[in-house]
Structures are given as structure tokens and as C-alpha cells.
């Protein structure tokens, strides 16, 4: 059984000096490929460096490159140039993490929208998929995406935590959906239980979002309190339960979807 983790924040400082062990534990758990998330220009460069350092085979670790809405206030013409150069690297497979965050508003909303639109334009130009972040901003994100969707090869709303209306609006736009350990959280994730069965095969992908979102249903819990890709099997278990699928069935179609989305090599 093979799994692909489409969102790992391997550049997070809490993972410093632990990268090799994390990758080895992931592979032992059946997570055969990982997408290392870039959330800023410097972070995207670091994500690419980790892929090159930790996976000389160029088969298992790939990255995204983008500017998260939290960092959108720093977006400039030079940011566009730097990001384009990163996106032209072979190991970088998607534009992002980019999007809108109207929950924390760390960057002014007009600047979030400008940075998103310019990154979507790059994705159209380079014909690359997009790794999207959205928090409390689904209506505005949908409005912006509608102007680009016909020209984008694909886009995934990563770490989907929204309600039914937002999910169906995203599916109507032919977007992919990323599900994390949020679904394992009995305090705030139970609304996802009936929703995940509505995501068609081929549009559903799984992610750890490590080191964040440690599945609360995981037993035993790691002493560090950190999530890591090896624990994606718990997300698989929970999502499979609520889709009335076996873990093997879900692993097969979610992995195939991720491999196609990011154009990843087959692992034999």
C-alpha cells in the first residue's frame, strides 16, 4: 500500500536536524512520496534544497514554490521574478502555497488578492498546478479562481476544513481537495465526516501538513507532540472509515490522484 503526502512543512524549524529520520519513518509507514511545501520565497528555496539533499534519486521528494497569504504584504515585482525562477526547477511541481486567509489577516486583503492573482497568472503561463490555502475566504477565492480556472491545468484546496457549500463550490470548479488530520479532531473536525464521501475518486488527496495537525485520534501519541508524514496512515484510516472504503481502496485512488496531479514518477 503506497501513500503520497501532498503537504509536508519540512522546512519548519522543529524538524531541524531530523529530516533524514522523518523521511525514513515515512517510507517505513508506506508514504513513498512527499510534497515539501513552500510558503515564502526563502522557504520555497529551502524546500527545494531539502528535496535535492535528501533524495538524490529524484523519485521521492518534490516541492511547491509560492508565497502564502500571510506573507503577501512582501509581494513585489521582484517576488514574481524570483518565484518564476524557482518554478522552472524540475523538482518544483506546483505553484503555492498561495491563496487567501481572512481569518488571521496577517497581510491586508488587497495585497493577499494581488499576490494570489499574480501567482495564478504564473501557473497559467507555466501550465503548473496550484496548491491553495483558504481560511474564511471561500467566496472571494472562488470569485478570483473563476477568472483563471479554464486556463489552469489543476488546483487543490489544501487542508480543507470548510462547510458543505464551500466544498461543493470547489468541486463544481473541478478542484482537488486535500484532507488532513483535522478530520481526526473530535472538537472541530466532525463536520468533515459526512462531507468526505462526497469527494469523487480522483479529486481527493491526503496530507499531513506536518508538523501541524497531529491527528488527535492517533495512539500512541508521540512525546514530541509533532505531526510527521509517517502518521498519514491515521488520516487514511479516518477518511476511509467515513467514505465506507477500505484503507487499501482509499490509498490506491488518492495516491493515483496525487501522482497525476503533481506529475510524479511511479514507485515500484
Closest by Cα among 152, 154, 116 to 263: 154
Domain 3-262: give its CATH architecture. Alpha-Beta Barrel (3.20)
180-197, pLDDT tens digit by residue? 999 999 999 999 999 999
pLDDT score of 83: 97
Write down the domain spans for the chain: 3-262
Any idea of the CA torsion for 256, 262, 265, 268, to the nearest 10 degrees? Answer: -30
pLDDT score of 162: 94
> Average pLDDT of each block of 10 consecutive residues along the chain (268 residues)?
97 94 96 97 97 95 97 93 97 97 93 97 98 95 96 97 96 97 94 96 98 93 93 97 97 98 92
131-163, pLDDT tens digit by residue? 999 999 999 999 999 999 999 999 999 999 999
* 63 within 8 A of 90, measured Cβ to Cβ: no
Tell me the sheet residues that pair with 5.
34
Query: How many C-beta neighbours within 10 Å does residue 5 have?
Result: 29
pLDDT score of 267: 84
Give 242-247's long-range contacts (Cβ < 8 A, gap of 24+): 242/183, 242/192, 242/193, 242/194, 242/196, 242/197, 243/196, 243/197, 244/197, 247/1
99-126, pLDDT tens digit by residue? 999 998 999 999 999 999 999 999 999 9
Distance CA 68, CA 104 (A): 12
Distance CA 46, CA 37 (A): 10
Distance CA 226, CA 224 (A): 5
Q: What is the pTM of this model?
A: 0.97
Amino acid at each position: 500500500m503506497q501513500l503520497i503526502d501532498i503537504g509536508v512543512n519540512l522546512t519548519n524549524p522543529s524538524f531541524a536536524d531530523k529530516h533524514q529520520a522523518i523521511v525514513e519513518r515515512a517510507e517505513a509507514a508506506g508514504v513513498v512520496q512527499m510534497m515539501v511545501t513552500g510558503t515564502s520565497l526563502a522557504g520555497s528555496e529551502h524546500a527545494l534544497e531539502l528535496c535535492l539533499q535528501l533524495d538524490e534519486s529524484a523519485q521521492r521528494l518534490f516541492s511547491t514554490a509560492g508565497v502564502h497569504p500571510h506573507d503577501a504584504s512582501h509581494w513585489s515585482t521582484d517576488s514574481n521574478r524570483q518565484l518564476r525562477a524557482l518554478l522552472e526547477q524540475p523538482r518544483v511541481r506546483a505553484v503555492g502555497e498561495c491563496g487567501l486567509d481572512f481569518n488571521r489577516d496577517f497581510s491586508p486583503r488587497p495585497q493577499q488578492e494581488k499576490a494570489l492573482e499574480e501567482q495564478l497568472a504564473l501557473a497559467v503561463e507555466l501550465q503548473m498546478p496550484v496548491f491553495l490555502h483558504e481560511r474564511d475566504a471561500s467566496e472571494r477565492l472562488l470569485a478570483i479562481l473563476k477568472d483563471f480556472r479554464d486556463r489552469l491545468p489543476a488546483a487543490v484546496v489544501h487542508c480543507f476544513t470548510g462547510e458543505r457549500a464551500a466544498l461543493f463550490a470547489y468541486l463544481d470548479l473541478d478542484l482537488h481537495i486535500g484532507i488532513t488530520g483535522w478530520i481526526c479532531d473530535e472538537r472541530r473536525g466532525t463536520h468533515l465526516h459526512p462531507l468526505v464521501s462526497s469527494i469523487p475518486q480522483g479529486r481527493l488527496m491526503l496530507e499531513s501538513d506536518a508538523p501541524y495537525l497531529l491527528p488527535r485520534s492517533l495512539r500512541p501519541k508521540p512525546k514530541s507532540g509533532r505531526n510527521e508524514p509517517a502518521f498519514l496512515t491515521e488520516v487514511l484510516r479516518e477518511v476511509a472509515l467515513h467514505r465506507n472504503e477500505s484503507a487499501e481502496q482509499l490509498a490506491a485512488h488518492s495516491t493515483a490522484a496525487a501522482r497525476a496531479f503533481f506529475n510524479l514518477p511511479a514507485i515500484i
